[in-house]
Structure 1
Amino acid sequence: MLNNIDVIDAQINQQEANEFRTLLAQQNAGKTKHWDFEVIAGQFKQSNKSTDDTTFNYLQENFGIETSWKEIVEELTRLNKSGGSNVVYKVFFLARHGQGYHNLAHEKYGNDAWNEYWSKLTGDGEIVWGPDPELTQLGIDQATRNNQEWKVQLDQGAPKPTKFYSSPLSRSIDTLIKTWEDIVQLSNIKPLIKENIRETTGVHTCDKRSTKSKLSEKYSPLGFLFEPGFEEEDIYYKDDVRESVSHHALRVNESFQQIFDENEHENQVIGITSHSGTIRASLLALGHREFAVGTGGMIPVFVKGERK
Structure 2
Amino acid sequence: MLVLRSRRLRRLLFFLAVFVTLFYLISALFPKRSPAISQLVFSGRPPTRALAPRRKNLKLENVKGFFLQDLAETNQTSFNVFHAQDFGLIPQRYSSIFNSKLTEDASQWDQFEVEVLRMNAESTAPRLAVRGYKVLYLFRPPQSWHHTGESFYGRESWDCLWTRQDGNGTAKFIDADLTPDGVHNAKYINSLWNKHLRKTNIATPELFLSSPLSRAAQTLIYAFNLTSRSPPPPSPIFVEYLRESFGVDTHNSRRSFTYLKKRFPLFEFEEDFSEFDPLWTSNRDETEESTLHRAKIFLENLFLRRTEVFIAVATHERVIKAILEAVGHRPFEVPIGHMIPVVVKGSWFKSYEIRTESEKYRMYYKKDRNCTVLDPITDPDAEPELDDDELDFGHSEGSGHGGARDSL
Q: TM over 0.5, yes or no? A: yes
Q: Which has the higher helix share?
A: 1
Aligned partner of residue 345 in structure 2, secondary structure: strand
- The aligned runs of 1:175-194 (5 Å cut-off) are 175-181=219-225, 184=229, 188-194=233-239
1:164 and 2:187 correspond: no
- Contact between 1:34 and 1:257, CA under 8 Å: does it hold in 2? no
CA contact (8 A) 1:89 1:303 kept: yes
Q: Distance in 1 between matches of 2:143 and 2:291?
A: 21
Cα deviation 1:250-276 (Å, max 9, x = unaligned): 10110111111122xx31111100111
Take 2:155 and 2:330, find their aligned partners in 1: how far apart are those partners?
23
Alpha-carbon spacing, 1:267–1:207, altered in 2? closer, same or farther (3 Å): same
Distance 1:237 1:33 in 2: 34
Residues 186 and 99 of structure 1, relative CA distance in 2, 3 Å threshold: farther
Give, in angstroms, the shift of residue 187 of structure 1: 5.1
Does the C-alpha gap of structure 1 residues 158 and 188 become closer, same or farther in structure 2, counting only changes over 3 Å? closer
**Counterparts of 1:240 and 1:207 in 2: how far apart (Å)?**
13
Instruction: Specify the alignment match of 2:80 in structure 1.
Output: 57
Flag as ranges the 4+ runs of structure 1 deviating above 6 A. Answer: none
User: What is the deviation of 1:186?
Assistant: 8.5
* Aligned AA (1:52): N
2:158 alignment partner, one of 97, 110, 114: 114
The percentage of counterpart residues that share the same residue type is 31
Give the one of 21, 40, 58 matched to 1:35. 58
User: C-alpha displacement at 1:289, in angstroms?
Assistant: 1.2
| Contact 1:33/1:307, CA 8 A, preserved across alignment | yes
SS at match of 1:58: coil
Matched residue type, 2:313: I
Distance 1:185 1:226 in 2: 22
1:298 to 333, 339, 353: 339
In structure 2, the partner of 1:66 is 90
Residue from 295, 300, 317 that aligns with 1:276:
317
Q: Which residue of 1 aligns with 2:70?
A: 47
Q: Report how many aligned residue pairs link the two structures.
A: 275
- CA distance in 1: counterparts of 2:157 and 2:336, whole angstroms: 20
What is the Cα deviation at residue 304 of structure 1?
0.7
Aligned AA for 1:292?
E
Deviation at 1:292, TM superposition (A): 1.1
Instruction: Please give the per-residue CA displacement for 1:31-83, whole angstroms capped at 9, x wherever unaligned.
Output: 96542111111101111111111111111112111122123212212211222
* Alpha-carbon separation, structure 2, partners of 1:145 and 1:162: 21
Secondary structure, in 3 states, of the residue corresponding to 2:286?
A: coil
RMSD: 2.0
Counterparts in 2 of 1:1-308, with a 5 A limit? Answer: 34-61=57-84, 62-67=86-91, 68-83=108-123, 84-85=125-126, 86-87=129-130, 88-130=132-174, 132-155=175-198, 156-181=200-225, 184=229, 188-220=233-265, 222=266, 224-263=267-306, 266-308=307-349
- Asked whether the equivalents of residues 129 and 205 of structure 1 are also in contact (C-alpha less than 8 Å), the reply is yes
Q: Which has the bigger relative contact order, CA under 8 A and spacing at least 6? A: 1
- Give the secondary structure class of the aligned counterpart of 2:248: coil
Q: Is the contact between residue 62 and residue 328 of structure 2 (CA under 8 Å) also seen in structure 1? A: yes
Report deviation, 1:178.
0.6
- 1:107, 1:159 → 2: CA distance? 37
> Aligned letter for 2:340?
I
Say if 1:173 and 1:273, in contact at 8 Å, map to a contact too: yes
Deviation (angstroms), 1:145: 0.7
The residue type equivalent to 2:167 in the other structure is G
Say if 2:164 and 2:249, in contact at 8 Å, map to a contact too.
Answer: yes
Secondary structure, in 3 states, of the residue corresponding to 2:82?
Answer: helix
Q: Determine if contact 1:97/1:275 at 8 Å carries over to the other structure.
A: yes
Partner Cα separation in structure 1 for residue 213 and residue 57 of structure 2: 28
Cα distance in 1 between the residues matched to 2:336 and 2:321: 13
For residues 307 and 294 of structure 1, what CA distance do their matches in structure 2 show?
33
- From the superposition, tell whether residues 254 and 48 of structure 1 become closer, same or farther in structure 2 (CA, over 3 Å): same
Q: Is contact 2:61-2:326 (8 Å) kept? A: no
Q: Which moved more, 1:183-192 or 1:104-113?
A: 183-192
| Gap change, CA 1:136 and 1:186, over 3 Å in 2 | farther
Alpha-carbon separation, structure 1, partners of 2:141 and 2:176: 12
Please list every run of 5 or more consecutive structure 2 residues that lacks an aligned counterpart in the other structure: 1-47, 92-107, 350-408
- The residue type equivalent to 1:280 in the other structure is K
Distance 2:76 2:156 in 1: 23
Structure 2 length as normaliser, TM-score?
Answer: 0.64
Shift of 1:218: 1.1
